[in-house]
Structure 1
Amino acid sequence: MTNSTYLVVGLGNPGPAYEITRHNVGFWAVADLADRHGSSFSLNSRQRAEVATVTLPGPQPVKLVLARPTTFMNLSGVAVKAIASFHKIEPDHVIAIHDELDLDPGRLRVKLGGGDNGHNGLKSMRQHLGTGDFYRVRVGIGRPPGRQAAADYVLAKLKPKDLDAMRVDAAVAGDAVETLVREGLTVTQNKFNS
């Protein structure tokens, strides 16, 4: 990893109705990253996202462009493409943080490339970037109970104890991003994949 600028996009839906839903865990993770490095988001209407920039200190400083698309989830790729083009960031330096039904809550997986597994945010990113070869930080939310539809489950407001647990998971996703850009994929997978 030679280029030292990465686009870290938290996938979610804008607006208060979606703020405390499982689908927005990516938003919380990038917000946590911005907070821990003293940065804040500002609206960039041309890029259709709220954007913050942080620099991770070290012998080789790394710049992170953090983004929360203001499009809905199924159009996330529009914002990702606009930001990546503006900052001249190639897909292999794009990291998507998103909710993952196939992982239990409290579990996390980091990987490069792969399918979209029915996730509309990833599907839109693949479409607009022209490739699926970007990093994914998959935050487990588990499967819906009983016969509840997946869409209803991911968009349901979280109970306080579940919300607290997911916020912890979001912070761990931020840790995984920092490890990924500093130490690479193998180290990150060994440390965080569960």
Structure 2
Amino acid sequence: MVAVGLGNPGPRYAFTRHNVGFLFLDYLKSKGWKSEKFFEWNRAELDGHEIVLVKPLTYMNLSGVAMPYIMRFFQVNVDDIIVVYDDVSLKLGKIRVRKKGSDGGHNGMKSIIQALGTQEIKRIRIGIGEKPEGTSLVDFVLGEFSKEELEVLQKVFELSRDALVTILNEGIDKAMSVYNSLEVRV
């Protein structure tokens, strides 16, 4: 399994809401990242399963550009990939596991769907909450989490890790039935 976390490279974006995919992968494995042309990668062991962690370095809106390189490098197909990314339509504290679907207005996922030519891509969407009234979407997703939000996010990452382990052990349908109704209390 290859977990592809979405985000934007560089220190300017490191702790922004849009970088939840990168932050989750760092939660799973923070050191020892290796660099390739369009992505960074690492390996982690989850409940006896080796999983490859990948961060596309093509910036969020061009995440799909890296996908053919990732798939060729690791010799995997779309069935072996799960994408992890932020979702403004979910409140902070919730995740959604899906085995397919539209991009839902997320430009990184839109780019991946276009690059792979299918919507049948497994994913874990991590809620970052709705943008506040009077704030632009760009300013919100490129804004940093507050200290309190980061504390909630650590618990959400635990939940997301458990969902990923369930996908590996029991399949995505089981993970969807268990984790889509759970919520970390804020």
Query: TM-score scaled by structure 2?
Result: 0.90
Q: Secondary structure at the match of 2:29?
A: helix
Corresponding position of 1:78: 65
CA RMSD of aligned residues (A): 1.6
In structure 2, what is the Cα distance between the partners aligned to 1:176 and 1:27? Answer: 17
In structure 1, what is the Cα distance between the partners aligned to 2:53 and 2:114? Answer: 20
In structure 2, what is the Cα distance between the partners aligned to 1:162 and 1:71? Answer: 27
In structure 1, what is the Cα distance between the partners aligned to 2:5 and 2:45? Answer: 17
Say whether residues 1:14 and 2:9 are aligned partners: yes
Q: Secondary structure at the match of 1:148?
A: coil
Q: Give 1:54 deviation, angstroms.
A: 2.7
Corresponding position of 1:164: 151
Q: Give 1:168 deviation, angstroms.
A: 2.6
In structure 1, what is the Cα distance between the partners aligned to 2:123 and 2:28? Answer: 16
Please identify, of 9-18 and 161-170, the stretch whose mean Cα deviation from structure 2 is larger: 161-170
Say whether residues 1:98 and 2:85 are aligned partners: yes
Corresponding position of 2:108: 121
Deviations 1:41-90 (A, max 9, x none): 11112xx11100234454xxx33111111111011112222111222211
Does the 8 Å contact 2:6/2:19 carry over to 1? yes
Corresponding position of 1:186: 173
Deviations 1:114-133 (A, max 9, x none): 00011111011111112121
- Correspondent of 1:40 among 14, 32, 38: 32
Please identify, of 130-139 and 168-177, the stretch whose mean Cα deviation from structure 2 is larger: 168-177
In structure 2, what is the Cα distance between the partners aligned to 1:148 and 1:115? Answer: 25
In structure 1, what is the Cα distance between the partners aligned to 2:156 and 2:18? Answer: 13
Corresponding position of 2:50: 63
Pair 1:81–1:167, CA change in 2 (3 A): farther
Corresponding position of 2:99: 112
Does the 8 Å contact 1:143/1:150 carry over to 2? no
- Correspondent of 2:122 among 135, 158, 167: 135
Q: Secondary structure at the match of 1:80?
A: helix
Query: TM-score scaled by structure 1?
Result: 0.87
Q: Give 1:30 deviation, angstroms.
A: 1.2
In structure 1, what is the Cα distance between the partners aligned to 2:141 and 2:159? Answer: 20
In structure 1, what is the Cα distance between the partners aligned to 2:60 and 2:158? Answer: 21
* 2:94 partner letter: R
Does the 8 Å contact 1:32/1:174 carry over to 2? no
Does the 8 Å contact 1:26/1:170 carry over to 2? no
In structure 2, what is the Cα distance between the partners aligned to 1:79 and 1:178? Answer: 25
Corresponding position of 1:151: 138
* 2:65 partner letter: V
In structure 2, what is the Cα distance between the partners aligned to 1:165 and 1:56? Answer: 22
Unpaired runs of 5+ in structure 2?
182-186
Equivalenced residue count is 181
